[in-house]
Structure 1
Amino acid sequence: MPAIVKEFTVNKVTWQELLQDYITEFKHYCVSFPNLIEMLEELKRNNLILGINTNGKGQFQMDNVIVLGIDKYFDASE
């Protein structure tokens, strides 16, 4: 994160403040891939048991899944 501060000449906030802002605010701006909901609905109509495995961590990633409205499609998560 300190590289971003240097590269973009950020001098009014610390890299820690930028990181905290990212963690708390990203969920308000994430968007899904086109047709994601339609695909998940089709999979569920076919009686598939769905799980989710992400490259994100903990509550941060779960917040994104919830905001996207896709949590209800999954039977298991990790």
Structure 2
Amino acid sequence: MTDTPPDRLAANPRSPFYDGDLLERGVGIVFDGVERTNVDEYCVSEGWVKVAAGKSKDRFGMPLTIKLKGKVEPYFRS
């Protein structure tokens, strides 16, 4: 495996950007200089992260997400 995380990664198994092996390895996100632990999806090249919007759920039972724009820095925890 490489030492740099992918440009885009999602934690939702329904997403085409989901990669279970990378998620098991442990990916951390620093967003605008702050460590974020509640990121559902991120994209470095476009500069955004998706985070859960409270306890709200959609009609399929998945959490509603909000897209936040800023500087995204992913890293491997291990």
**Smaller-chain TM-score bracket:** under 0.3
Q: Select the structure that is richer in helix.
A: 1
TM-score, length-normalised on structure 1? 0.19
- The structure with the larger Rg is 1
Q: Select the structure that is richer in strand.
A: 2
